[in-house]
Amino acid sequence: MQILKQLRAGPLIFFLAAGGLNHLAAQAQEPPLEMIGALSRAGIPLSSVGTYVQEVTGGKMLVASNATVALNPASTMKLVTTNAALELLGPTFTWKTRAYVSGTQVGDVLNGDLIIKGGGDPKLVLENFWLFLRQARARGIREIRGNVLLDRSLFEEGFYDPAAFDGDPLKPYNAGPDALLLNYKSFSYRFMPDEAGGKVKIVVDPPVAGYPITTPRLTNGECGDWKGKLQTAVSGSGVHFGGVYAASCGEKTWYVHPYQMTHADYFNVVFRQLWADLGGSLKGEVKNGPVPPDARLVAEWESTTLPEVIRDINKYSNNVMARQLLLGLAADIFKLPANPERGGRAIKTWLANKGIDAPELVIENGSGLSRIERISARTLGRMLVAAFYSPTMPEFMSSLPLAGYDGSMRQRVRNRGVAGNAHIKTGSLNDVRAIAGYVLAASGKRYVVVCIVNHRNAPAAQEAGDALLQWVYEHG
């Protein structure tokens, strides 16, 4: 009951067009011929496509085809997660990372532990963490003779398999959520061949301390599959490139999720380097541990606001941040260690309170990087209509890519009338292509547009999606 009260406290907007859904469905028609033709050329049957197009004001339905079928939405699921977070947490919401100390401080020596408590910040990137540590140094702490304890209790501890989605755990988007997620738990390795010296130089970012890197051998020949030739092995004690790197590759950068390192391992090597750069030293270990009752607060980092975070999530389809956001929502609503199930429950209750029945909705992690997440085009479309009438509409809409100009829509519909007149989130998996968002038609009317394709030929569906957007712009 308390959870429902908290959910209802947000700006939950109930919207149904005049005459009800049955009346609207009667007005609906099949997708336009331009879209059907493009689907036919791609070898995609209409039965594999869910489409929903509705005028935002007045509720006129233009298209509703397979609109109630549960489909995998890929990254358009981020619209559900980010919209729910905006309304339930509010547009001024921020995350706080705090540092405490225990023991005694004599001069610049801390005879005790430094404890860092994670607040679930989705964007605790290196520069922000450096500024946070500067606050601790400004309190006169230089030498830490105890340990650095990481309080990660805001999120529930559980098994996470970074290879479960696509079998490639080194991909940065496969990093799991964490209450103290630092720099997305990723490294960038810049390979610079030195032909004169006969070796390969590697620059790692963020810089690390006590984490050896074995460089690959420099060879001649074609570049080809240069990543595969590196024969990479990552562990908590170092990274080993046991293969070769061709000089013909020139300089290249590889972004890697060091999945064989625990979150504490990763935090350890990054913290030690940054703390040393700030003139500090650490005698003990970096390990997990709670904030003691007698600990004293010495530093606090407040994140950027939620609208700026969801802009990164939706414009650039950041899966790691979306997973963090779902758990952050759950932690705030339930006041318990967060897990994806609680995040999904909060979203379903939020939708129900808006009058949107979504029995088909399946939320695994809120990012759309999932084989099991499901939503119908109608549910997503109705949510987008309701979002337009929410007080947070400006923040939400501005987080979506502007067609033909930025984000994941930057290279699409660039020379068509709809360019600059649509805010559209895209989604793509091997067998999924999806678009969802808003189109401002040439008539001045605004429409919600959702199109989800689930078919083995889905990679060829972009022409159909673009045709639908242009058709709505011209005929809406």
Cα separations in angstroms, 100 against 79, 103, 299, 393, 444: 36, 10, 7, 38, 55
Q: Delineate the domains of the chain, giving CATH numbers in brackets.
A: 2-92+306-475 (3.40.710.10), 96-159+262-302 (3.50.80.20), 187-256 (no CATH)
Report d(CA 217, CA 242) in Å as an integer.
Answer: 8
pLDDT at 28 (0 to 100): 58
Tokens 């109630």 correspond to 68
Which residues, given as ranges, of the chain have pLDDT below 70? Answer: 1-28
Q: Supply the pTM of this predicted model.
A: 0.92
* Residue 59: predicted pLDDT: 85
Written as one letter, the residue type at 311 is: R
The predicted structure's pLDDT at residue 271: 97
Torsion angle in degrees (nearest 10) through CA of 111, 114, 115, 121: 170
Q: In what order do the strands lie in the sheet with 49-55?
A: 61-65, 49-55, 446-454, 432-440, 422-429
> For residue 161, what pLDDT is reported?
95
